[in-house]
Each structure stands twice: as structure tokens, then as C-alpha cells.
A and B are shown apart, each in its own frame.
Chain A
Amino acid sequence: MILAHFWLAFAGFGAALPLGAWQMYIRSPLHGWISDPEWYYRSVTAHGTTMAYVFPTLVAMGFGYFVAEAALQRPLIGLRWAWLGFALVVIGTVTAIIPVALGLASVLYTFYPPMIGNPFYYIGVVLVVVGSWIWVALMGINMQRWKRDNPGTPVPFPMFATVAGAYLWGWTAVGAALELLFQIIPAALGLSRTIDAGLARVFFSWTLHAIVYFWLMPTYIAYYTILPRAIGGRLYSDAMGRLSFILFLVVAMPIGVHHLFADPEVGSGFKFLHSVFTALVALPTLLTVFTICASVEIAGRLRGGKGVLGWLAALPWRNPVMLGAALSFVMLGFGGAGGLINMSYQLDSTIHNTQWVTGHFHLIFGGAIVIMYFVIAYDLWPHLTGRSLDSLGLMRAQLWTWFVGMIVLTFPWHYVGILGMPRRMAFYDYSDPVIAAQAASVTMSVIGAAILVVSGALFFLVLARGHAAPRTAPPAYRFSVAVRPPRALPAALNGFGLWLGLMIALTLVNYGFPIAHLLATPGTAVPTVNVGALR
């Protein structure tokens, strides 16, 4: 079941990756203008929908089920429900992708009402989300039952972190779900001819930012619970880890209005409020960077590293987990610095909705996050398949090419964004002297995309060779152990009751007024504009 989640996730990734590379090529100076730009937007919709909704959701679900069994050391409760969730994701994906492939829903994965596409596209996305909600419920139930059966014992950290991620997703998906169920789907079915585009953008921003933290959760869980163990170290602090995940849960969500800094439907006060909370969400990342570096230092010193920096040289750099995590950290550093720029209204004005933003989230998600998905797969595969994964050299080559490809792809993107290159365009007029200056950078991005495709192929080669390897019996799976494993914890660090309350309260404070204000304002609904219909 876990393997099915991972394979479907990576199959989607494998299909969407070449689409991305094709888009890079088609809009570059290497290719003439595409005869029908609709194909480009159709491809962007398929790439975005798969990479943003299907791929990370399935990774989070599969990894969550794995953690529940391995960390709680007992079989998953509700296996049938888990299969039902999986089936919903599969059905939803197929339902959504058919109208996209037919060109009936080229609205991009961010929907953009009042543009309205084929209803099956939106219904498919809803089914994917509902399938993932079953996973959310199962994660909560498994933790609760375990707590009931083990009173007074702290919930194992990997499970605690996984449940934090699940609750975060359960709540943050509500924004887009409201937008889809109450606004877009009625319009797509023809029940309504108008839609409040501003309100829809507010709802979507509720989901749009925290979804990134949902993508990030498996990566952070791997930093804390896989990396120190894989390199022979210890987790520096269990409590700090819990605190980081709690902070993510509480503040990752009510900050989405920073995506609407340039929008007319939210006033400046709430924009500033969300900007402040966006600053706050950098805190758990800062804590994580500290804890993980300290944990890695422990490993380096245990391996005989001396001096201020000597422990760095003593680290097992040939170990794919170590390598992948280090490359991930570098990309997280660059991406995070870019994120601090996006966070303030004044700096954001320069780059809002330019190629900078595309570069930013590809570096964070495609780079720092997805490279750890690879690492997770490499680490879990022997336990999932019962066959060893021995192609260490190939894994290192794969991780390096992914890193280099992502840097070559995204750095020029950031640069042309500062020059003001708008995003989501099927082609540009490079014969224009002003735009000609951006041509070389765009070409460089195409090279980056090509490297990424090669890296993706290497990834599948590693997994395929694993499936062909002889059977072995891997030892029981272990997560990292803290320097000081907790014996007893305060309830606040061992459960989520308080934090869920805080999360919902903060949402009401930060989103209540903007939503209520728009709902109460008459005359904000505008006619829908159907796409994909014969004109």
C-alpha cells in the first residue's frame, strides 16, 4: 500500500517533469513561436496540477503511513480506509487530467476565476483532496489510539511531526475547497453565471501558502528523523523539533494574503498583518537549521572530526542521505533568502508575478523539498521492497545533477524576474532589443531543465535496479534517536488540542474580516468567462 502511493507519486512526477522541460524549450529563443499557444497553457496546467497536488500529496500520504507503522511499531489502523483514500486520489487524478489533456480546462492549477473550465477538472481536484483528508483522519486516529494504549509515554517524534503535517494540510485545504465547492464548481456546472473573483482569490490564498509547508513536511521530517540516524549521529533536541512543527501548524496558514499584496480586494491593514505573520513562519525554519546542523555536527565529532570546522570533513559525504540533505540545505538557504524578499510589500512590488516567483518556488519545492523526496525513497525502498538498493554511485550522480540542474534553471529565472519578465507566457519577442537582453538567461534555464530530465531518468534507473536486485531481509527500520530522548513531556508537546484551537482562532482573526467584508459587499460578482468552449 505504501509502495503504491510512492510509485503513483513518482509516476506522476515522471510524466510532469518532461512537460516542464518542454515548456522551458518552447518559450526560449531556441524555438520559434508556438503555432497554438493553447498547447503551452494546457501543458502548464497539467504540469502544475500534477506537481503541486498529486505528487506531493501522495508522497506525504505514503510516508505518513510508513511513519505510523514504523514509529508506533504496530500495524496501521484503518487500512481499508487508506485504500479508499488512495482510490479517491487515483480517480480524482484521472478525472482531472482528461479534460486538461483535451484542452477543456487550460486555467492553470491556480484556477483563475472568473475563467471557468470543464467541471470535471475541478471535481477531480476535489476528489484528490478528499482522498488526502482520509489520510489526515487516519493519522490523527492512529496517534490517538497509540496514546490511549501507552498512557504517559511521549508520542514518538516522527509520528508527532507527521500528524502536525496532516492537520496543517487538513485545515489549509479548506480554503481551496470552499472556493471550488461554493464558487467555481457551481459556475462550471452552469448553475451560476457570476462569481466574486476577489473572494475566490482570498480563499485560494488560504491554501496557496500553507500548501508549500505541507509539501515541506516530509522533507523536514526526514531532516529530523532520517538524516542523523543515517550518518551515525543523534538528534540534538527532541523538544525543539516538536516546537518547530507546532509553529508550522499554527502560523503557516493564516499568512496567505502576502500572495495578494498587489490585489485590490484586501485593504492595507490585513496585508501588513499577514506580512508580519509571514516573518514569524521563518522562525521554525531557523530553529530547524540550527537543530539539524547541531545534529550533524554530533555525527561529525563522533566520527573523529576535530576543531571548529574539522567535523565537516569527517562527515560521510558519500552517503546519499548526507549528500542529499546538504544540497537541500543549500537550496533552502537561497530559496529562503528569496522568500524574505517576497515577504515585504515594498520589495515584493519589484518582483511580484514575474519569473522571479517561478524561480523561487521551483528552488524551494522542486529543489530543497523534492531532492529530499528522492532521499526518502532511497532510504525507505529496501524496507518497502525487501530488496537492497545498491547503486550508491548512481544515487550520488542523480542528487548532484538534480542540484546543478535546479540551480541552472532557477538562478536565471530569478534574474529575468528582476528585469521584469512576466510569467506564464507561451513566447516572447526576442527580436525586441529590450527583451533580447533576457534571451541568454532563458536559454540557460532550458539547459537546467534538460539536466533535471536526465536526473529524473537516473532516479527511475536507481529504483528499477532496486526492484531487480535479489531479495534481502533489511533490519527493522530505525528513526533518529535524540541526544536526550524524552521520558515524559508536557501535554502541549505531546498533543495538538491547544495548537489546533490556536490555529483556527488565528485563521478567524486573519481571514475572518476580509472574507466577511467581501461576502457582505454587494456587486462584487462578475460574469464568468468559459475557456475551452467553442467561441
Chain B
Amino acid sequence: MTEPPPPPSHDEGAERIEGIERRWAMVGIGVLLVLVVVAAFAGIHQAAMPQSRVEIVDPLRLHLSGEFIDSNLGSAVEPDGSVTVRAIGQEYSFTPSCILVPRDTPITFRATSADVVHGFLIDGTDINLMLVPGYISSLRARFETLGERYMPCHEFCGTGHEGMWGRIKVVDKAVFAQMAAGAKRVSCVK
């Protein structure tokens, strides 16, 4: 391979290279700034933000006291009409394994793990959380379409991980209200 001839060495050449490079760097920075601003806008304006506070809970005492006792798991109707869903992940299932929520209603998910790290994902939505033992994960959401979706654990949690699938059913508001009437907490059985 032949050595290329040395290029003309004028300072204007160097200046030109620098000018072109600077312009490109500015374009790059500009693009990235736009991306950051869009993300910030979406975060604040559409409330698509992760939970702001760190909340802790003792995984050994979940079933003894506090908001994650067995009788409090599932969907609860709040005084303001919104619904809070509480769930636990453990090797290798969710409790409740089938979550029931009404359509067009503000939903708050609150979930944690009883043993190792689990994942909490609802297919076809942006609902995506890690369940880390010792901490409470929470997320606000709203469902606009009826039907049933899968809710797999998406974090390796042991050799039974592949069998850890839950489900979530979105039902009409009226149907939900009927099921929730009289019951303290609701979930679907199958």
C-alpha cells in the first residue's frame, strides 16, 4: 500500500477542519438537547415519571402486618374513585395471580417482593417495574382497552423463573363496581 502524499499544510486547512468539526459537534449537542427536553417535557407534562420517593418494607413481615397482608392484596377502591392494586411477587408466582382493574380509571400499582428480585411487566403497556425485596415499587397507570393481558416476571428469579406468569383483566367500570361492591379487595380467580 502506498503512503498517501502529504496534504498541503496551510493553517487555513487546519482552521477549516476545526470549523467543520465544531459545526458537527454543535449539531450533535443540539440533537441531544432536544431529546433531553422532550424527555423532561413528557415526564412533567404527561406525568410519565418514575416514583419520586424510596419506600422500604420488611419482606419477612409482609403477611403479618402493613399494607401487604394477605387480606389487603388485590384491587381496592379509594374514596376518590381511583383504584389501588397491591401485589406481591415470590418464587415463582404473583399474589394475586390474576389482577382485576376497571377501564378508564386512575390505577396505582403498589408491589414488592417476598424473596428475590422479580420483574413486573404488563404486555402491550408501559407498565414495567422491578420488584426488589425490601423496597416498595409504585406506578400510576390507566387502561383504555378491555381484555386480558399477560403479566410475566421479567427478571431471573431462580430456576422456576420461566413459569412465573400472572394475568391482568381490564373490565368495564360498571362490572368492576358490581364486583367490588361489598368486597374489601377484588381480584379475578382465573
Chain A contact residues, CB within 8 Å of chain B: 36-38, 41, 44, 106, 108, 112, 114-115, 196-198, 201, 230, 232-234, 236-237, 240, 260-269, 271-272, 275-276, 279-280, 282-283, 286-287, 290-291, 298-299, 302, 340, 343-346, 348-350, 352-354, 419-420, 422-428, 434, 483-484, 517-518, 521, 523-527, 529, 531
Q: Which residues of B contact A527 (CB under 8 A)?
A: 59-60
Q: Give the CA-CA distance A197 to B152 in the complex, in Å.
A: 21
Q: Which residues of B contact A234 (CB under 8 A)?
A: 4, 7
Contact B162 A279 (CB under 8 A): no
In the complex, which of the residues A233, A237, A419, A426 contacts B123, with contact meaning CB atoms closer than 8 Å? A419
Chain A residue nearest to B135 in the complex (CB): A264
Contact A237 B21 (CB under 8 A): yes
Q: Which residues of A contact B134 (CB under 8 A)?
A: 196-198, 523-526
- Pick the 6 closest A-B CB pairs, nearest first: A422-B154, A420-B123, A264-B135, A286-B28, A349-B126, A425-B162
Contact A345 B132 (CB under 8 A): no
| A-B residue pairs in contact (CB < 8 Å), sample of 8 | A41-B161, A114-B116, A234-B7, A419-B124, A420-B122, A425-B152, A526-B134, A529-B158
Interface flag for B104 (CB, 8 Å): no
Which residues, 1 to 51 on B, are CB-close (under 8 Å) to A?
Answer: 1-2, 4-5, 7, 9, 13-14, 17, 21, 24-25, 28-29, 31-32, 35-36, 38-40, 42-43, 46, 48-51
Q: Which residues of B contact A425 (CB under 8 A)?
A: 152, 161-162
Q: Which residues of A contact B122 (CB under 8 A)?
A: 420
Contact B150 A198 (CB under 8 A): no
Contact B59 A275 (CB under 8 A): no
CB distance from A200 to the nearest CB of B (A): 9
Q: Give the CA-CA distance A352 to B5 in the complex, in Å.
A: 51
Q: Give the CA-CA distance A193 to B79 in the complex, in Å.
A: 42
Contact A345 B158 (CB under 8 A): no
Chain B residue nearest to A36 in the complex (CB): B159
Q: Which residues of B contact A287 (CB under 8 A)?
A: 21, 24-25, 28
Most chain A beta-carbon neighbours within 10 Å: one of B55, B115, B138 = B115
Interface flag for B133 (CB, 8 Å): yes
Q: Which residues of B contact A232 (CB under 8 A)?
A: 1-2, 4
Not counting A201-B132, A232-B2, a sample of 18 additional A-B residue pairs whose C-beta atoms are within 8 angstroms of each other reads A37-B160, A112-B155, A112-B156, A114-B133, A261-B50, A279-B36, A282-B28, A287-B24, A298-B4, A340-B35, A344-B35, A422-B119, A423-B154, A434-B123, A521-B54, A523-B134, A527-B59, A531-B159
Contact A197 B121 (CB under 8 A): no
Chain A residue nearest to B59 in the complex (CB): A526
CB distance from B104 to the nearest CB of A (A): 20
Interface flag for B128 (CB, 8 Å): yes
CB distance from B92 to the nearest CB of A (A): 11
Q: Give the CA-CA distance A531 to B7 in the complex, in Å.
A: 64
CB distance from B83 to the nearest CB of A (A): 20
Contact B39 A531 (CB under 8 A): no
Q: Which residues of B contact A112 (CB under 8 A)?
A: 116-117, 155-157
In the complex, which of the residues B4, B24, B115 contacts A233, with contact meaning CB atoms closer than 8 Å? B4
Chain B residue nearest to A41 in the complex (CB): B159
Most chain A beta-carbon neighbours within 10 Å: one of B13, B55, B159 = B159
Interface residues on B, range: 35 or more
CB distance from A427 to the nearest CB of B (A): 6
Contact A529 B32 (CB under 8 A): no
Assuming the contacts A286-B28, A420-B123, A526-B133, asked whether A262 and B50 have C-beta atoms less than 8 A apart, the reply is yes
Contact B51 A264 (CB under 8 A): yes
Chain B residue nearest to A232 in the complex (CB): B1
CB distance from B107 to the nearest CB of A (A): 15
Q: Give the CA-CA distance A262 to B124 in the complex, in Å.
A: 16
Most chain A beta-carbon neighbours within 10 Å: one of B40, B53, B155, B160 = B155
Assuming the contacts A265-B54, A287-B28, A424-B156, asked whether A236 and B17 have C-beta atoms less than 8 A apart, the reply is yes
Contact A271 B50 (CB under 8 A): yes
Q: Give the CA-CA distance A290 to B5 in the complex, in Å.
A: 23
Chain A residue nearest to B124 in the complex (CB): A420
Q: Give the CA-CA distance A350 to B122 in the complex, in Å.
A: 9
Q: Give the CA-CA distance A236 to B20 in the complex, in Å.
A: 11
Chain B residue nearest to A420 in the complex (CB): B123
In the complex, which of the residues A279, A345, A354, A484 contacts B50, with contact meaning CB atoms closer than 8 Å? A345
Contact B150 A420 (CB under 8 A): yes
Q: Give the CA-CA distance A145 to B77 in the complex, in Å.
A: 71
Assuming the contacts A232-B2, A276-B36, A428-B162, asked whether A290 and B21 have C-beta atoms less than 8 A apart, the reply is yes
In the complex, which of the residues B14, B32, B112 contacts A279, with contact meaning CB atoms closer than 8 Å? B32
Contact B43 A115 (CB under 8 A): no
